[in-house]
Structure 1
Amino acid sequence: MADDWREALALSSPTEERNPRTAEIDRLPADELVRLVLAEDRGVVAAVEAAADALAALVDHAVEALTAGRRIHYVGSGTSGRLGVLDAAELLPTYGVGEESVVAHLAGGPGAMLHAVEGAEDDDAAGYRLGGAFAAGDVVVGLAASGRTPYVGGALRAGRDRGAVTALVSTNPSAPLAAEVDVAVLLDTGPEVITGSTRMRSATAQKIALNAFSTALMVRMGRTYSNVMIEVQATNAKLRARAVRMLVQVTGQGPERCAEVLADADGEIRTALVALLAGRDVVRAREALRDTPADPARVADPGGVRSAVAALAGDGSDTASPA
């Protein structure tokens, strides 16, 4: 409607206020301007840290969902939605997790990644139609700087109607949608350097929050061993070298040996790691891992690597001690 702007104008959100510290920004030379922008970003991490408990609660819900074979859905528009797409897309090459587990929905569709789609974020009905992709036990995470985006609100309503857990990540502490979700991650980033430009402090905070959420989720789901990735898809020379380097770092064995075992394991870092740590061939390592699959309920060893190495250690041969 032509007067839709009136409702948006009435929204109370710190991100829409003028920042008194940057009121003279257009009078500054480049060096001072850059320092001012960076100084304003210093408070972003603290804003996310203040929401750590809510993020942890969201991780627990997400672990429960993925363990039950359900999915995580990011829903957003504009910059917030693009950050959801980015986070979901990076999980496949990093942790071997694709849209079967985490999927992003962007208002306006894929084309909105590069160009604004007029009216897409205001389409509550389009958000609600996403419910066809939701199931009971899924987790629907709405991403909205303002905390009121109709497209996100429609999707969250659809999620509730279908028995999904719902969450909101917003940089508006007074987000209207917060009262309607199971978990509200509210990041108080304050006014932007450039008034209303939520691609700045607000977006940085949302990116940090999503990094923390998805990283903690992948660790809990057993996609790492210690602090190294064991599900990297080594699709190019850089990633193959990274896989070998990680094996060297964890096992203390030479790069040639690690590369040899990784090749024998058909590029499966998890299998190669168990073989190297236990001093066994990849066939035995793969068999041991079948008996100790990734399981977030396994205390201190969600990935199952330590348990597999320990099981192989009982056959009388020398083994290395897992970290």
Structure 2
Amino acid sequence: MMERLTKLMTETYNPKSKELDQLTTDRILQLMNEEDMLIPKAISKVLPEIEETVEVVYQSFINNGRLFYVGAGTSGRIGLLDAVECPPTFSTSSEMIQAVIAGGSDAMMVAVEGAEDNEDLAVRDLKERQLSEDDVVIGIAASGRTPYVKGALKYAQMVGAKAVSLSSNEESEISHYADIAIEVITGPEVLTGSTRLKAATAHKMILNMISTASMVKCGKVYQNLMVDVNATNYKLKERCKKIVREATQVSYDEAEKVLQETDYKVKPAIVMILANVDYEQANLLLEQSKGFVREAIRKSD
């Protein structure tokens, strides 16, 4: 097992940083920055697989399915970072996009010994969430061999859910249990084997792409504005006003007035202004347009 691990790209020695412990602070940072610049190029090579993933996630959502990010350690926490930002950004339910981390909530802060090595634990965790054929599981593991992630993908395929693997090694083990395999090759880390660096950064960027593109396709965006933002505090209410003003060119006071009528729901506020309709009519137009603001405005003509 150890020999197999050391042969992984993510575990190999980076000759560029062999004198890391001798470098000045500015040179350490320059070197890390140079290595990080390789990440977008690596992601560009797997855009077709990311696109395919967005399509299956979108199809899942329109069929009332859910998206599960599954990982251990850093990979699990990356999934959590993306999942928890979706409700405030897009007003999704906490059920729609979920993070499943080996060891449960305790593992968010402290590693739970042995959890990542247990395939059956992943099966148990997904059974508890009643994984179905309408759902999508994205298994995240930089090494591409984490048993917990492998177990999750195998179970997803068994129940008929779409299984997607995300790793940073070619021909990774988890790819063999996925309908779509995303292998983003970021190369050896500056600090040998520390995949919280380039590999984790690439994975976070890819999850950002998957969730954001899926939300765009679901009608959560008008122009490039997050019109389904959940205004739960003062800052977000001010953001709602800014969004409405940007979309409609009305004054601050007018945006505030209309948003008070909609209980700070941005979509109907924009439709009310641009289609010159009342709140009830705006909601009807949005319902007929499946939540797409541009289509709702068009239907008012």
Which range is displaced more, 122-131 or 50-59? 122-131
Query: d(CA) in 1 for partners of 2:84 and 2:236?
Result: 17
Query: d(CA) in 2 for partners of 1:93 and 1:131?
Result: 24
Matched, 1:120 2:76: no
What residue in structure 1 maps to residue 299 of structure 2?
A: 311
Match of 1:19 among 14, 18, 24: 14
- Listed as ranges, the gaps of 5+ residues in structure 1 are 1-6, 295-302, 314-323
Match of 1:189 among 170, 176, 186: 186
Match of 2:163 among 162, 166, 179: 166
What residue in structure 1 maps to residue 33 of structure 2?
A: 38
Write the deviation string for residues 74-133 of structure 1: whole angstroms up to 9, x where unpaired.
110010110001101000000011332111100011111111111111011101223413
Match of 2:277 among 273, 277, 280: 280
Matched, 1:236 2:237: no
Q: Is the CA contact (8 Å cut-off) linking 1:18 and 1:191 kept in structure 2?
A: yes
State the AA in 2 paired with 1:306: R
State the AA in 2 paired with 1:64: Q
Match of 1:146 among 138, 143, 148: 143
Q: Is the CA contact (8 Å cut-off) linking 1:129 and 1:155 kept in structure 2?
A: no
Query: What TM-score, normalized to structure 1?
Result: 0.90
Matched, 1:134 2:122: no
Shift of 1:262: 0.7
Matched, 1:101 2:101: no
State the AA in 1 paired with 2:96: S
Q: How many residues align?
A: 298
What residue in structure 1 maps to residue 3 of structure 2?
A: 9
Query: d(CA) in 2 for partners of 1:124 and 1:205?
Result: 25
Write the deviation string for residues 130-163 of structure 1: whole angstroms up to 9, x where unpaired.
3413101211110000111000111111111101
Moved over 2 A (4+): 310-313
What residue in structure 1 maps to residue 244 of structure 2?
A: 247
Query: d(CA) in 1 for partners of 2:62 and 2:261?
Result: 30
State the AA in 2 paired with 1:58: T
Write the deviation string for residues 203-255 of structure 1: whole angstroms up to 9, x where unpaired.
10001110111110110111111110011111111111111111111111111
Shift of 1:60: 0.6
Shift of 1:272: 0.3
Match of 2:67 among 49, 58, 72: 72
Matched, 1:55 2:50: yes
Q: Is the CA contact (8 Å cut-off) linking 1:148 and 1:177 kept in structure 2?
A: yes
What residue in structure 2 maps to residue 293 of structure 1?
A: 290
- Secondary structure at the residue paired with 1:10? helix
State the AA in 1 paired with 2:42: A
Query: d(CA) in 1 for partners of 2:74 and 2:3?
Result: 20
Query: d(CA) in 1 for partners of 2:255 and 2:287?
Result: 22
Match of 2:212 among 206, 212, 215: 215
Query: What TM-score, normalized to structure 2?
Result: 0.96
